[in-house]
């Protein structure tokens, strides 16, 4: 068990060194969330209180998924992913390693947006502990989601296209930039099927002590459950890809 | 509980009825062979013969459809993790991590194999020096030349002191000097006790370096012999290189001459694989006279490694 965790940690450490400065990771994981946040805050000014938590969850989501997407595009395309399969580590250990590097990158992506939110919308979080916990859980869920999505695509060169096909609709349907409560019933049901909704809800609650669809504790519990499920499904997917 | 199979002391790797099917396609058809501890074993075959699939099954990168594969007594099917600790794999492409330096690539591999920190630092230094990469230890992998990338890929496969090293086309695309440097080191590793399982298209290299060679075609082992024995199997056959003036005859007519096993044409020279040189010389002279041709050049020599290989593969095809 300790060896497995150590193996996952080494994979994560290697990924950060290898992919931190890749153009795709920087553009989608750092530049895009900052530019997006600036654009929205400048447009909405002081009325961005509701928007700020959505921006933070988007930064986390894009940061974490970009890292997993980029690392697996490269490794599956040039065949270096097979190197990981040659090491004495389980498929779950590999999936966890990939998740950890995405997690760390997701946290890094969130920092500039949190600082921007604090400067441009000077509202302190009403529950800092819940905010930290929500960010950690949301980043972990985004990471497992990104890793799972990367392995679900058979052609590695299509991974980033599929990522954006999934991520952009989620942006609009997960209560991040459009209040889902104001949308027709059907959209609220769709929002409940999006992992990003639960990330946004718990982060938003830690700022405003209000939620639109799901209270924070069930939201966090569901995110943990989804992360475990995604991790398990990823390890099965890695195994199933062995011819 | 891991149960190690009792293998002959000599055998470090064994395939027993190893079989692989992709859909309806049989890639490896129930092969049996053993690689002796400490030997350099060559695994040859044309493209699509089943070489890579066989190696991938031993390394756990491809599932085994039926049969058994053992390395050092451990079952590949049941003891995957144990096997991974005792094998080193050098794939046909140098696919290490481009942003990591030579040293970082080695240390990462050492970490993944659970080599203790002090030992992996010592081993990394030893390997960097052994492969002539010490001065490049802080150079990123992406900035190395093709030959140096190959050397580092080989070094990384050795960080955990594997008992058996799988080499897939280790010198593919390298210049003569780089090839020699790689082979010198592989031979030294073998002298130090590492078993080498070599998959290659380079027949000459395999015949020169390997102690035994298995030839696989259409998923079946066609021959397993020492290189000299393989050559002897065809020693009765020689190659007659002949050219004609003023025209070249049709290749089919030469192939139909009595005693000619096969004919290949390279530029204006016909290479006739033959069994009885004296008989064929008479027939060839008569054939040339009848067709109004002159024999411009004529050279008789022993079949070389490539021709032996092609003959074995050819006979299999004829069967």
CB proximity list for B172: less than 8 A, separation 6 or greater: B92, B201, B202
Concatenated DSSP letters of B51-74? HHHHHHHHHTSS--SEEEEEETTE
Same domain as B119, residue B99:
yes
pLDDT band of residue B318 (cuts 50, 70, 90) is very low
pLDDT band of residue A17 (cuts 50, 70, 90) is confident
| Domain annotation covers residue B88 | yes
pTM: 0.79
Structure token digits, residue A137: 């859980």
Average pLDDT, chain A: 85
Mean pLDDT for B26-44 is 92
Query: For B99-127, what is each residue's pLDDT tens digit?
Result: 899 999 999 999 999 999 999 999 999 99
Task: Name the nearest CA neighbour of A82 among B84, B234, B39.
Answer: B84
Per-residue pLDDT for A94 more than 70?
A: yes
Same domain as B194, residue B156:
yes
Same domain as B249, residue B160:
no
In this predicted structure, what is the pLDDT of residue B319?
42
Same domain as B129, residue B18:
yes
pLDDT band of residue A72 (cuts 50, 70, 90) is confident
Q: Domain range spanning residue B243?
A: 236-302
Q: Are A71 and A78 in contact (CB under 8 A)?
A: no
Per-residue pLDDT for A153 more than 90?
A: no
What CATH number is given to the structural domain containing B212? Answer: 3.40.50.300
Q: Are B309 and B248 in contact (CB under 8 A)?
A: no
Same domain as B35, residue B176:
yes
| Domain annotation covers residue B307 | no
Ranking A135-139, A211-215, B74-78, B145-149 by mean pLDDT, the lowest is A211-215
Query: pLDDT above 90 covers what percent of chain A?
Result: 28
> Which of B196, B227, B258 is where one domain is finished?
B227
In this predicted structure, what is the pLDDT of residue A112?
84
Same domain as B277, residue B197:
no
| Domain annotation covers residue B1 | no
Same domain as B60, residue B209:
yes
Nearest CA-CA distance, residue B4 and chain A, Å: 18
Contact flag A7-B99 (C-beta cutoff 8 Å):
no
| Kind plus residue range of the DSSP H or E element containing A51 | helix A51-78
Query: For B133-162, what is each residue's pLDDT tens digit?
Result: 899 999 999 999 988 898 899 899 999 989
Residue with the two structure tokens 């799901």:
A214
Domain count across chain B: 2
Query: For B238-248, what is each residue's pLDDT tens digit?
Result: 788 899 988 88
The nearest alpha carbon in chain B to A85 belongs to B61
Q: Are B67 and B16 in contact (CB under 8 A)?
A: yes
Same domain as B135, residue B45:
yes
| Domain annotation covers residue B309 | no
Kindly list the residues from chain B whose CB atom is less than 8 angstroms away from the CB atom of residue A21: 99
Same domain as B181, residue B135:
yes
Average pLDDT, chain B: 86
Same domain as B251, residue B218:
no
Query: For B276-307, what is each residue's pLDDT tens digit?
Result: 777 788 888 888 899 898 888 988 877 776 77
Nearest CA-CA distance, residue A88 and chain B, Å: 5
Contact flag B99-A88 (C-beta cutoff 8 Å):
no
Q: Are B108 and B97 in contact (CB under 8 A)?
A: yes
> Which of B227, B252, B281 is where one domain is finished?
B227
Same domain as B59, residue B182:
yes
Same domain as B153, residue B17:
yes
Chain B: which residues have CB within 8 Å of chain A? 22, 59-63, 81-82, 84-85, 87, 89, 91, 93, 95-100, 104, 108-109, 111-114
Write down the domain spans for chain A. Answer: 2-240
Contact flag A10-B111 (C-beta cutoff 8 Å):
yes
Query: pLDDT above 90 covers what percent of chain B?
Result: 40
Kindly list the residues from chain B whose CB atom is less than 8 angstroms away from the CB atom of residue A86: 59-61, 84, 87, 89
Query: pLDDT above 70 covers what percent of chain B?
Result: 92
pLDDT band of residue B4 (cuts 50, 70, 90) is low
Rounded to whole angstroms, how far apart are CA atoms A51 and A40?
Answer: 8
Kindly list the residues from chain B whose CB atom is less than 8 angstroms away from the CB atom of residue A89: 112
Per-residue pLDDT for B165 more than 60?
A: yes
What CATH number is given to the structural domain containing B291? Answer: 3.30.70.980
| Domain annotation covers residue B308 | no
In this predicted structure, what is the pLDDT of residue B123?
92
């Amino acid at each position: 068990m300790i060896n497995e965790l150590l193996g996952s940690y080494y994979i994560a450490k290697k990924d950060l060194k290898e992919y931190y400065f890749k153009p795709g990771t920087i553009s989608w994981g750092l530049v895009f969330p900052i530019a997006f946040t600036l654009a929205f805050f400048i447009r909405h000014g002081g009325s961005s209180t509701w928007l700020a938590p959505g921006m933070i969850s988007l930064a986390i989501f894009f940061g974490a998924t970009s890292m997993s997407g980029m690392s697996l595009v490269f490794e599956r395309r040039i065949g270096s992913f097979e190197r990981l399969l040659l090491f004495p580590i389980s498929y779950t250990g590999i999936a966890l390693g990939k998740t950890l590097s995405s997690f760390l990158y997701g946290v890094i992506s969130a920092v500039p947006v949190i600082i921007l939110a604090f400067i441009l919308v000077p509202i302190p979080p009403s529950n800092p502990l819940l905010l930290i916990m929500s960010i950690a859980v949301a980043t972990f869920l985004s990471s497992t989601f990104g890793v799972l999505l990367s392995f679900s695509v058979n052609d590695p060169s299509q991974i980033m296209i599929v990522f954006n096909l999934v991520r952009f609709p989620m942006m609009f349907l997960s209560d991040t930039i459009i209040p889902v409560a104001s949308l027709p019933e059907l959209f609220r049901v769709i929002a409940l099927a999006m992992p990003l909704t639960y990330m946004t809800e718990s982060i938003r609650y830690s700022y405003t002590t209000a939620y639109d669809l799901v209270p924070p504790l069930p939201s966090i519990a569901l995110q943990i459950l989804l992360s475990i499920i995604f991790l398990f499904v990823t390890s099965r997917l890695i195994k199933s890809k062995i011819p | 509980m891991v149960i190690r199979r009792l293998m002959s002391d000599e055998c470090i790797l064994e395939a027993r009825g190893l079989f692989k099917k992709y859909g309806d396609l049989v890639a490896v058809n129930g092969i049996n062979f053993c690689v002796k501890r400490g030997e350099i074993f060559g695994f040859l075959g044309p493209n699509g013969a089943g070489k890579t699939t066989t190696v991938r099954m031993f390394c756990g990168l491809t599932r085994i459809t039926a049969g058994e594969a053992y390395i050092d007594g451990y079952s590949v099917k049941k003891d995957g993790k144990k096997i991974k600790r005792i094998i080193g794999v050098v794939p046909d492409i140098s696919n290490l991590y481009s942003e990591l330096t030579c040293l970082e690539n080695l240390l990462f591999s050492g970490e993944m194999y659970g080599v203790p920190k002090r030992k992996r630092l010592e081993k990394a230094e030893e390997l960097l020096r052994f492969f002539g990469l010490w001065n490049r230890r802080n150079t990123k992998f992406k900035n190395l030349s093709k030959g140096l990338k190959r050397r580092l890929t080989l070094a990384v496969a050795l960080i955990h002191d594997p008992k058996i090293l799988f080499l897939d086309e280790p010198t593919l695309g390298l210049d003569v000097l780089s090839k020699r440097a790689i082979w010198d080191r592989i031979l030294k590793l073998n002298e130090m006790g590492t078993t080498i399982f070599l998959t290659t298209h380079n027949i000459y290299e395999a015949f020169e370096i390997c102690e035994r060679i298995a030839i696989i075609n259409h998923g079946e082992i066609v021959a397993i012999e020492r290189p000299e024995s393989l050559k002897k199997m065809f020693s009765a056959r020689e190659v007659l290189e002949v050219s004609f003036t003023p025209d070249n005859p049709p290749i089919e007519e030469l192939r139909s001459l009595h005693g000619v096993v096969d004919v290949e044409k390279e530029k204006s020279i016909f290479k006739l694989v033959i069994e009885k040189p004296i008989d064929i010389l008479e027939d060839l002279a008569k054939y040339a006279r009848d067709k109004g041709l002159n024999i411009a050049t004529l050279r008789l020599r022993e079949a070389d490694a490539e021709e032996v290989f092609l003959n074995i593969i050819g006979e299999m095809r004829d069967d």
